[in-house]
Structure 1
Amino acid sequence: MTNNSEVTALMPRLVDHELRRREITDAVRRVIVAGGLDAVTFQTVAAESGFSVRVVQYYFGTKRDFLLATHRSVMEDAGARFTKRWTALGAEATPRETVRAVLTELLPLDDQRRAETIVLGAFAWAAICGQGITAEETFAAPRALIAIVAEQLRRDQAHDVSASCEPERDAELIAMATGGLAHGMLQGFGTAQTAIGLLDRLLDLTFGVEGDRAEATHH
């Protein structure tokens, strides 16, 4: 007679496929951080993830498939942090506070954000060099960021008639400048403190210095 433990051992294990896919894309990130996009193969990802090449191929039929899935996973992680920071600010947050909270999540201020910046930089370079990833496939994230910033700039204009800006163009400028700050930090061009100071300076130029604006509103 077969006991319960024997039955359990004979039953096929239930696999959380989304977790398995995430474990593989996390491994892709680590391979990129250690050796760049050229280091990514089914073999290196399998070794890093602890799964067989066959398992990696089961979830991602081509290298391109797991590269694009990895890019999406980085964007999803950043988006989750944006949402968390935004929620923590509360409904009374000013447009400037909201934009600052979002943009600081793009700076490599800790190990996770540093790794994400390296990974996104690798994808950008691959798109520039035509290494199987097109630029268009990496534009969803910056477009979403630009839309968020532009909305906050329009909100700022609605509350301050003296504000002078072009929301869409200024949002593009802010997004591209923040990307430049992030990659500059990776190269050692300035510290985290320098980058945050430059970000605040950019927001001063865009939204105005907070103290000056409060005084102008009071008068």
Structure 2
Amino acid sequence: MPKLADHDQRRAQITSAARRVIARDGLGAATFQSVATEAGISVRLVQYYFGTKRQVLLATHQAVVADAGRRFTERLSTLGPAPAPREVIRAILTELLPADAERRRDTIVLNSFHAAALTSPDVAAEDTLGAPRFLVGAIAEQLRRARGDAAGQRTAELDAELIVAGTSGLAQTLLVDDGAEERVGELLDRLLDRMIDRMIEE
């Protein structure tokens, strides 16, 4: 009896191949042919699961974001039952940084999507904004906890945007500056000192 296809596994095989192609050669290189070759399957099979290049790319982006969410959950689970807001924010920010091979690859992939949103017809800006918006909301919630809600929702959201933007910039630096890795912890703590502790004192 022929083995039935595991469709979720096949989709994951294809998006994993697309991630490797994008991380190595750029988003423009992620064609049906290159992804199929990387996955070791036929072009026809890639087209069966994803009818257009845009669908392949969006599914790949979603897979990267889902894996990041898994890492966030795993990191937060190590903090104990009632972590302080600063601990939660620091854990989230740490997972945003390309400190190992997996996160480095995914950072490159996400950067490729953000750049493509400016020029490629296959990626729209709105396709890339869901994860950053979620991060801003999660960090803003922790800021309100840390400040006893005194700063208000809008202020917390603005500060959360600055924190995410600052950490994203640090992630870019880590991709090209090996020496920056030694300063990561210090830089994160300085950012949180300014954005959390000082605001609480004020």
Instruction: Quickly name the TM-score band, shorter chain normalised.
Output: over 0.9
**Inter-CA distance 46–130: structure 2 relative to 1 (3 Å threshold):** closer
Residue 190 of structure 1 and its aligned partner are, at CA, apart by 4.2
Match of 1:104 among 76, 94, 108: 94
Residue 189 of structure 1 and its aligned partner are, at CA, apart by 6.8
Taking the aligned partners of 1:204 and 1:132, their CA distance within structure 2 comes to 40
Who is 1:182 aligned against? Answer: 171
Who is 1:6 aligned against? Answer: none
Tell me the alpha carbon deviations over residues 41-74 of structure 1, each in whole angstroms, 9 at most, x when there is no partner.
1110011001111111111101100100000000
Q: Secondary structure at the match of 1:31?
A: helix
Who is 2:197 aligned against? Answer: 208
Residue 133 of structure 1 and its aligned partner are, at CA, apart by 0.6
Match of 1:197 among 159, 164, 186: 186
In structure 2, give the amino acid aligned to 1:140. G
Match of 1:28 among 18, 26, 41: 18
In structure 2, give the amino acid aligned to 1:82. F
Equivalent positions of 1:31-110 (< 5 A) are: 31-110=21-100
Query: Number of matched residues?
Result: 199
Where in structure 2 are there 5+ consecutive unaligned residues?
none
Q: Secondary structure at the match of 1:89?
A: coil
Tell me the alpha carbon deviations over residues 5-31 of structure 1, each in whole angstroms, 9 at most, x when there is no partner.
xxxxxx121111101100100000000
Q: Give the aligned CA root-mean-square deviation in angstroms.
A: 2.0
In structure 2, give the amino acid aligned to 1:47. T
Taking the aligned partners of 2:138 and 2:37, their CA distance within structure 1 comes to 39
Q: Secondary structure at the match of 1:120?
A: helix
Who is 1:7 aligned against? Answer: none
**Inter-CA distance 78–208: structure 2 relative to 1 (3 Å threshold):** same
TM-score by length of 1: 0.86
Answer yes or no: is the 8 Å Cα contact 2:173–2:180 preserved in 1: no
Residue 90 of structure 1 and its aligned partner are, at CA, apart by 1.7
Answer yes or no: is the 8 Å Cα contact 1:184–1:190 preserved in 2: no
In structure 1, give the amino acid aligned to 2:75. R
Residue 147 of structure 1 and its aligned partner are, at CA, apart by 0.5
Larger Rg: 1
In structure 2, give the amino acid aligned to 1:89. L
Tell me the alpha carbon deviations over residues 146-204 of structure 1, each in whole angstroms, 9 at most, x when there is no partner.
01000000111118x69xx9210000000111111101111217422223321111011
Percent identical: 53
